[in-house]
Chains A and B, each alone.
Chain A
């Protein structure tokens, strides 16, 4: 397919990298010659220097035979205009990254400009995506990652294995003795920097991070084995007045969860408290331990640091963890910090840019791919395929299929039934399957099931 990407920042670059890898024809447009130079040095793509909202620039990028336009600059308005122009050129699919709160589905302006009027087919708001991740995480206190397939009633959760767990050191094949775990499948183990796909073999060790899949309702039985108790969340601190804060407060406003927003900038505090009357806003530094204690840090159930200052997010989360706050979540977009987050006391990391890349890629996949989710910390993917009559793998027990390395069939959905597969299960026409793939396996899996 022919894909134009506008914006060669982090998001645009990463999307381009993935799409080139999947053998699409990619054109990258950016007004910054330096960024364009970096792209053309490292990726096999056509590049055009100029504004995405400029007719001549888009013509140079061959917009007349473009299949998908992805507008991923930092400027919402440029992205919207690029989609608007693409609509005039009848580009079939137009995706825009739009960050501003008032353009989002929660904001007040969205009735003024509908996506359709602007010619946007898919509007992706990184902060909204991140907010949804945060909400899922607070409701799963022990998980560092939660990814769901709501239409299929399936969830993938990432847990840390600690010494106190009953199942630590226990061979995976012995899990069968726990009735509660029969409906769960371990899809991957991250040990040091390596990702292992256990396929029913091996053992969980303290320090491992493990991804498991099960039906949504079965997690009630599974989560206690990972020391997760469903104690409801009552009190939450949010650090920083930012777009994510607005989305979160919109969600918490009408719930019985008590929220305090911590912000060091007095003016931001004032305007925010005018926006959200029901939310408590505290004007203090998020790294001032005494002040946080005075506000009741010890009594909260979750600490969410989403300010624009990543170092403050990290530091304040560390303070919260020291006070035994059950769940700390920090917004961190700088990949250099990622390997150290868990030792720093951060339970879960939110990276809106990475989440945006994942969301955009979801809409670019074609053929029998129904959906894709990227698992944040690992770059692995869970890809949902439709098994059609052309599939070579119908009716063959899974254990007899020679799957490519680095992948695992994690779930089968047959019309309304979810099956957590074992070796003797077979695929049938019309099944949807969720395949977990390590980064090195994604391309091979695509060829195998595509």
Chain B
């Protein structure tokens, strides 16, 4: 599972406009659409993301949130990254605001890769200095380069 392979430049936003949890989830799904990663299934995906969020927040801690869902009808795992400079109250478990959003959509059947992707994302972003480095990226290209670079380090 290579994270940089499931991202597209157009699916990365370093300055999210949203200020609420609801808005940011919509903005992230829009981002995937804008990157032409979605076919006709945008509604389904957005609903799945909202449904998952109802169970418990995917805002884990230290400013990191991983909204995710499994849906049928998509061929491969899709990912997008959004960064909010001021942070958004995402009801994270540690009650801190969330700043780095990694949205992850997996085919319903592909359980194994979904879990591997989740594990890889948290590994890439576990160091505070790395999260700060990501926050400082001026544009999507730098974000993608950062992910590629860190992934190499992990191997």
Which residues of A approach B to under 8 Å, CB–CB? 151, 368, 370, 386-389, 394-395, 414-417, 428-432
Question: Given the complex, which residues of A lie within 8 Å of B93, measured CB to CB?
Answer: 370, 386, 430, 432
A67 to chain B, nearest CB (A): 15
Given contacts A151-B56, A389-B61, contact A430 B128 (CB under 8 A): no
Q: Which of B56, B66, B115, B131 contacts A389 (CB 8 A)?
A: B131
Q: Which of B52, B115, B122, B127 contacts A430 (CB 8 A)?
A: B122
- Is B99 an interface position by the 8 A CB rule? no
If over half of B's interface residues share one DSSP class (helix, strand or loop), that class is named, otherwise mixed; here it is mixed
What residue in chain B is nearest A428 (Cβ atoms)? B122
Given the complex of chains A and B, what is the CA–CA distance between A388 and B128 in angstroms? 10
- Is B42 an interface position by the 8 A CB rule? no
A425 to chain B, nearest CB (A): 11
Given the complex of chains A and B, what is the CA–CA distance between A389 and B127 in angstroms? 7
Does B62 lie within 8 Å of A389, measured CB to CB?
yes
Question: Given the complex, which residues of B lie within 8 Å of A414, measured CB to CB?
Answer: 115, 118-119, 122
Q: Which of A151, A395, A417, A429 contacts B60 (CB 8 A)?
A: A429
Given contacts A370-B93, A386-B94, A414-B118, contact A430 B123 (CB under 8 A): no
Does A388 lie within 8 Å of B56, measured CB to CB?
no
Range, interface on chain B:
20 to 34
The 7 nearest A-B residue pairs measured at CB: A430-B60, A389-B62, A429-B126, A388-B61, A428-B122, A386-B93, A429-B122
Q: Which of A151, A395, A417, A430 contacts B61 (CB 8 A)?
A: A430
What residue in chain B is nearest A387 (Cβ atoms)? B61
Which residues of B approach A to under 8 Å, CB–CB? 52, 55-56, 58, 60-62, 64, 66, 68, 93-94, 115, 118-119, 122-123, 125-128, 131
30 sample A-B contacts, Cβ–Cβ < 8 Å, listed by A number:
A151-B55, A368-B61, A368-B94, A370-B93, A386-B61, A386-B93, A388-B94, A389-B61, A389-B127, A389-B128, A394-B126, A395-B126, A414-B115, A414-B118, A414-B119, A415-B58, A415-B60, A415-B66, A415-B68, A415-B118, A416-B68, A428-B119, A428-B122, A429-B61, A429-B62, A429-B125, A429-B126, A430-B64, A430-B93, A432-B93
Given contacts A389-B128, A430-B64, A430-B122, contact A417 B115 (CB under 8 A): yes
Given the complex of chains A and B, what is the CA–CA distance between A151 and B54 in angstroms? 11
Give the interface centre of B52, B61, B62, B127 by most chain A CB atoms within 10 Å.
B61
Question: Given the complex, which residues of B lie within 8 Å of A395, measured CB to CB?
Answer: 123, 126
What residue in chain A is nearest B126 (Cβ atoms)? A429
Given the complex of chains A and B, what is the CA–CA distance between A416 and B53 in angstroms? 11
B82 to chain A, nearest CB (A): 17
Question: Given the complex, which residues of A lie within 8 Å of B115, measured CB to CB?
Answer: 414, 417
Does B123 lie within 8 Å of A428, measured CB to CB?
yes
Question: Given the complex, which residues of A lie within 8 Å of B122, measured CB to CB?
Answer: 414, 428-431
Question: Given the complex, which residues of A lie within 8 Å of B66, measured CB to CB?
Answer: 415, 430
Given the complex of chains A and B, what is the CA–CA distance between A414 and B122 in angstroms? 10
Given the complex of chains A and B, what is the CA–CA distance between A416 and B68 in angstroms? 10
Given contacts A151-B56, A386-B93, A415-B68, contact A428 B61 (CB under 8 A): no
Given the complex of chains A and B, what is the CA–CA distance between A415 and B128 in angstroms? 20
Question: Given the complex, which residues of B lie within 8 Å of A394, measured CB to CB?
Answer: 126
What residue in chain A is nearest B130 (Cβ atoms)? A389
Given the complex of chains A and B, what is the CA–CA distance between A370 and B122 in angstroms? 19
Does B58 lie within 8 Å of A428, measured CB to CB?
no
Given the complex of chains A and B, what is the CA–CA distance between A414 and B120 in angstroms? 12
Question: Given the complex, which residues of B lie within 8 Å of A387, measured CB to CB?
Answer: 61
B124 to chain A, nearest CB (A): 10
Does A389 lie within 8 Å of B126, measured CB to CB?
yes
Q: Which of B52, B56, B64 contacts A429 (CB 8 A)?
A: B64
A308 to chain B, nearest CB (A): 39
Question: Given the complex, which residues of B lie within 8 Å of A388, measured CB to CB?
Answer: 61-62, 94
Question: Given the complex, which residues of A lie within 8 Å of B56, measured CB to CB?
Answer: 151
What residue in chain A is nearest B93 (Cβ atoms)? A386
Given the complex of chains A and B, what is the CA–CA distance between A432 and B94 in angstroms? 11
Give the interface centre of B66, B93, B125 by most chain A CB atoms within 10 Å.
B93
A365 to chain B, nearest CB (A): 14
Given the complex of chains A and B, what is the CA–CA distance between A394 and B130 in angstroms? 15
Given the complex of chains A and B, what is the CA–CA distance between A386 and B61 in angstroms? 8
Question: Given the complex, which residues of B lie within 8 Å of A428, measured CB to CB?
Answer: 119, 122-123, 126
Given the complex of chains A and B, what is the CA–CA distance between A151 and B125 in angstroms? 25
A430 to chain B, nearest CB (A): 3
Give the interface centre of B55, B62, B68 by most chain A CB atoms within 10 Å.
B62
